[in-house]
Chains A and B, each alone.
Chain A
């Protein structure tokens, strides 16, 4: 069965410092993996997705993620955090029926 584990429920960084949001997955298929961001009381916005092409995936707003099969990880990074990055981030794996398996989310706080 597929599953997603987001290792940190909360992450706090100072503005201008790097962001690392960790995600591990388990999948018996070649997975599709996604990162979405959700601002308060809003829907989810797609940041980036991995679909078995390049292992380093670049997304919007300066975010990127690296697919590491040996570590079953898909961590999300950004070199320099902005205040506007404060939000909830979800790591998602897609199973064969096109359903999404969601991680529990990581709340990113950016300190001035």
Chain B
């Protein structure tokens, strides 16, 4: 149980294009989903927190107009990197938390984005 998927697992795009990454909770309903960014050999950096049906809350320093997050249902959240540039190349990981008092997050397998 508690499986989270991400799609695509890797993507290569040209500079200036937009890329959408999907995060799905497969066997539970996710009240909250989180988006992280991870640079090589570093820890995860929280980008934003999204609650189903409401606007995402972005961490300080994360451009909300560049990283668009939509959490339209209890099993799906999307991250769109708009007008991507090479510095946006990174490993993006989502996680999902079920509702109630549980604070356990279940992580997706990650998406490797390379912007040329």
Contact = CB atoms under 8 A, between A and B. Distances in A.
Given A99-B46, A99-B49, A102-B44, A42 B109 contact: yes
A23 to B, nearest CB: 13
B interface, over-half SS: strand
A45 B108 CA distance: 9
Contacts of B110: 41-43
A49 B104 contact: yes
Interface in B80-116: 91, 93, 95, 97, 103-110, 112
Nearest to A95: B103
Contacts of A103: 43
A46 B102 CA distance: 14
A100 interface: yes
Most buried by B among A41, A42, A98: A98
Interface of B: 4, 6, 32, 34, 42-44, 46, 49, 91, 93, 95, 97, 103-110, 112
Q: Which 6 residue pairs are nearest across A and B when measured between Cβ atoms?
A: A44-B107, A43-B107, A43-B109, A94-B103, A102-B43, A43-B110
